[in-house]
């Protein structure tokens, strides 16, 4: 089971100063900042997935790449641009969610294959038009869903024809869209008939796991033994055994990474549990706190002092200079300034995190370098490092689960 990490230009600065919370004045982002595979002690993913919409933009406007970055990836190629190890695979797709509300995809077959070839991808997914819905058994599907499915299949045939006409080195992956088990099975059957041996299942992100399994079961009834499935945007690691037995050979997901800073509590992952990161927001960067200061409910000097004391107490605790209780008291004192007394405190979650201190035994490489800083919910440099740690943890979970299956 191969794990692909979708690119959104997530990097960290190796020279970031955590004590003063500032970047080096000599920093050049693309030259100096590092991707997850460059800062972790072991590979966190088997490949990267890069969307044309992220690089070139779509109907919603520009993508995540600046013009110099865009020019660089086309000039250097995806492997050199990301400074990837040789063993890391590369896959391109169109980023269909960016144009989901449009009547048809904004790219031509030639434009997409040009993107894949010029950037030097190992594999590329055919153009698809995502179906944003799922139909329960017996329910009729809207005409637009049928239209999108047919459009996706027509694009897949044209894309495969174009790769053959060009004798392209980019391995073709057919995109399948559906809205229930039979429709997904129909799409896969059609793609197999065209000649695809790798098929990406799209539009499943919002589905419940039992619905995904139902679709995979229906697909498995018609799937050729030499056809491997890729789940677009799906992880659900607890179901990997089942997915693998039903023909899934790869998947991509940002869930573990994004939970580091998007989840309310499950921010720091370990092999068997999750922990809440300890929130110490920057006085100048927290909207709620700034409003409280402007309204006169909080004195700015008290906020700055509370922020400083919380950070110092956490670092002293990690160094063994103060007790866990003392560090927690400082964090909670600052928390009361930030959120007031009306919102629920994170006291129990923070106590659990500090008592376990999971970063002390982690072997991802980042935790050993940064200590408790990686468990502090504060700014992009800490939060993304914690996200990179979560990717490394996910990779280990996958390996352990697959090892258990093989045994």
Q: Which residues are catalytic?
A: 93, 252
Residue 177 DSSP label: -
DSSP H or E stretch at residue 106: none
Q: Are 310 and 334 in contact (CB under 8 A)?
A: yes
Of 49, 91, 116, 121, whose CA–CA distance to 198 is shortest?
91
Beta bridge partners of 124: 92, 172
Residue 75 gets the label, from left (phi > 0), alpha (psi -120 to 50) or beta, of alpha
Q: What is the DSSP secondary-structure string of 28-73?
A: -HHHH-B-HHHHSSS---SEEEEEHHHHH-BTTB--SS-HHHHHHH
As a whole number of angstroms, the distance between CA 223 and CA 185 comes to 8
**Among all chains, which residue has been given the structure tokens 């009729």?**
140
Q: Are 317 and 323 in contact (CB under 8 A)?
A: yes
* Exposed/middle/buried for residue 114 (C-beta within 10 Å: 0-12, 13-18, 19+): middle
Over its C-alpha atoms, the chain yields an Rg (Å, rounded) of: 24
Q: How many residues does the structure list for the chain?
A: 407
As a whole number of angstroms, the distance between CA 346 and CA 353 comes to 11
As a whole number of angstroms, the distance between CA 315 and CA 160 comes to 56
């Amino acid at each position: 089971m191969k794990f692909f990490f979708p690119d959104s230009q997530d990097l960290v600065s190796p020279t970031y100063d955590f004590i003063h919370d500032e970047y080096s004045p000599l920093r050049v982002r693309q030259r100096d900042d590092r991707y997850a595979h460059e800062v972790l002690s072991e590979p966190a993913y088997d490949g990267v997935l890069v969307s044309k919409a992220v690089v070139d933009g779509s109907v919603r406007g520009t993508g995540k790449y600046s013009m110099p970055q865009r020019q660089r990836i086309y000039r250097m190629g995806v492997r050199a641009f990301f400074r990837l190890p040789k063993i890391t695979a590369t896959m391109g797709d169109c980023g269909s969610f960016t144009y989901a509300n449009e009547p048809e995809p904004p790219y031509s077959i030639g434009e997409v294959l040009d993107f894949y070839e010029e950037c030097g991808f190992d594999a590329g997914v055919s153009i698809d038009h995502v179906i944003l819905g799922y139909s329960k058994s017996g329910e009729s599907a809207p005409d637009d869903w049928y239209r999108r499915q047919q459009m996706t299949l027509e694009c897949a045939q044209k894309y495969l024809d174009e790769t053959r006409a060009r004798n392209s080195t980019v391995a073709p992956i057919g995109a399948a869209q559906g809205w229930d088990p039979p429709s997904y099975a129909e799409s896969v059957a059609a793609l197999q008939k065209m000649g695809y041996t790798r098929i990406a299942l799209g539009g499943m992100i919002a589905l419940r796991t039992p619905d995904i399994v139902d679709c995979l079961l229906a697909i498995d009834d018609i799937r050729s033994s030499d056809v491997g499935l890729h789940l677009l945007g799906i992880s659900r690691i607890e179901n990997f055994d089942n997915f693998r037995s039903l023909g899934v050979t790869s998947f991509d997901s940002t869930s573990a990474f994004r939970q580091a800073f998007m989840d309310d509590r499950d921010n720091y992952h370990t092999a068997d549990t999750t922990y809440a990161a300890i929130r110490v927001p920057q006085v100048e960067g927290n909207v709620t706190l700034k409003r409280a200061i402007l309204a006169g409910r909080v004195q700015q000097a008290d906020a700055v002092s509370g922020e400083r004391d919380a950070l110092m107490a956490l670092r002293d605790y990690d160094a063994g200079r103060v007790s866990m209780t003392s560090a927690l008291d400082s964090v909670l004192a600052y928390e009361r300034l930030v959120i007031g007394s009306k919102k629920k405190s994170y006291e129990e979650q923070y106590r659990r995190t500090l008592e376990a201190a999971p970063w002390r035994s982690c072997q991802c490489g980042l935790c050993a370098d940064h200590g408790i800083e990686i468990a502090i919910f504060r700014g992009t440099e800490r939060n993304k490092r914690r996200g990179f740690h979560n990717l490394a943890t996910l990779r280990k979970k996958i390996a352990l689960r697959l090892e258990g299956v093989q045994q």
